[in-house]
Amino acid sequence: MPSPPMKPNPPMPFDRPAAPRRPDSPGPQPFHAMAKPVGATCNLDCTYCYYLSKENLLQGSGRMSDETLELFIKQYIEGVPGGSVVFSWQGGEPTLLGLAFFRKVIAFEKKHAKPGQRIENDLQTNGTLLDDEWCGFLKENRFLVGLSIDGPKEIHDRYRVTKGKKPTFDLVFAAAQRLQRHGVPFNTLTCVNRFNGRRPLDVYRFLRQELNSTYLQFIPIVEHKHFDRVAPQKWNPADLPKEGDPEARPGHPHSIVTDWSVDPEDWGYFLSKVFDRWLSRDLGTVMVNHFETLVAQHLGLPSQMCIYTQNCGRGVAVENDGSVYSCDHYVYPEYRLGYLQAKPLGELVASREQTKFGRAKSETLPQYCRQCAYLTDCWGECPKNRLIRTPDGEPGLNYLCRGFKQFFAHALPEIDRITTVLRREPLKPKPRM
C-alpha cells in the first residue's frame, strides 16, 4: 500500500493545529492568532462569505495602523512559546493593503524575533490582485499561500464574483499559474456549498488535473439564517429544528440555514467520493485536510484541524483595530476578549473567558453525541455549526451530523488499514518549502 500523505507545510489559518498540551498543564501553551489587518474589506462579493457582514456588525472596517501592526507582531512573538511562530494574514482580502504593508510586516518580524526563532507567514487570498511583483515578494519571504477556488469555471463563478457581480475564475486561475511559475507554495481552499456539493469529482479532477494542487482543503459552507446579526450560540434553542426535520436542510422556506449552505447529506457524499478518488490515485502524494487529520487522529496524534479537537479556544482572531475575538467564526461583540492596546495577546488567550469558551465545546455536547461511535473522530465538529436538536429534542447537535456519519462509516475501514501500515513504516514529515 502506498504511503499516506504527511503535511509538508504548517497548517493554514483555517486548519489551526491543536495545542499539544492539556488545558490544565502549567506554563504558556501554544496558540494561533489569525490577523485581519484589513478587517472585512474585500474586492469581491462572494454570496456565501460570512465575513463581509462584519463591516456593518463591527461598525466599519479599514486598514490596520502601523502602531497596531507592530504591537500585534511584538505581542504574538512574545506570547507564543517554542522556536517558531506562524503569522496568518487574512481578511477580507489582505492583498488590498499592498506590498508596502507586508514589507513592514517582514521588517517588524525581524525587529522583534527572538534569537534563533523561526518566523513563518501564511497569506489567505482570493488571488485576483496577485501579479509578478507580489509573487516575487511571496517567494523571497517564504510565504505559504492559501488560494480560494471552488472548482472549474462554471462552479467557481456561481458564488465567487466581484462587487459588480462579474465572474472571477479567470483571474484566480491565472494567479495559480503565476504562483507556480514563481515557485510559491500554495494550498487550495475550496468551499463546499449547496451548488458544488453534488459534484465532488468535477471539483477534485479540476483541482488535481488542471490546477495541479497537491494540498487540498475543503470547507463546508454552513451559516445560520441570521448569521449576519446573531452570534453563534445566541439563538433561541426552541427555534432550532430537530435532526430529520425538513427545516434542518437548505431550501426549505423556514430552513435554519442560508440557501447556499451545503446539504448535510451532500457533505457526506462529497467527502466520500473525493476520498475514494484520493485513495485510488493520490494516496501518498496529495494531502486532503479531512483525510490527513483522520489518519493522524487514528495514530493517536493530535488533530490537525481545530474542528476535530475535543476542546478549542487556542485560535483567536485579531481585527484591524487591535480587537481580539475568541475565533474567526465568532467575531461578534459578545465574543470580544479585549484589545491588544489594553492587554497583551497572550493574556487574552489565557483569560478565563477564553478558557470557558474553549471547554464549552466538549462540555455542551448532547448525550446523542457522547454515545456516538464516531465521537473521538468528530467531537461535535465546529460549535458554530451546532444549529439543530437531537431526535429527542436536546439542542447542540451539529447541522452536518448525518453527513459526517456517512463519511466516517465509509472511510474508517481504509483509514485503519493506512494507520496499520504507518505504524510499521512511520514517515517523517517533509520540511516547509
Residues catalogued as catalytic:
328
121: nearest Cα among 96, 150, 94, 92 = 94
* Chain position carrying cell 456519519: 405
> Which residues partner with 242 through β-bridges?
389
The whole-angstrom separation of Cα 183 and Cα 181 is: 6
The whole-angstrom separation of Cα 145 and Cα 139 is: 10
Instruction: Give the three cell numbers for residue 95.
Output: 492583498
- Burial (0-12, 13-18, 19+ Cβ within 10 Å), 428: exposed
Contact 147, 187 (CB under 8 A): yes
* Cα three-residue angle 343-123-268, rounded to 5 degrees: 100
CA distances from 272 to 63, 275, 406, 412 (A): 41, 5, 8, 11
The whole-angstrom separation of Cα 244 and Cα 154 is: 31
Alpha helical stretches, state H, 264-364 = 264-277, 289-298, 345-349, 352-363
Three-state DSSP state, 203: helix
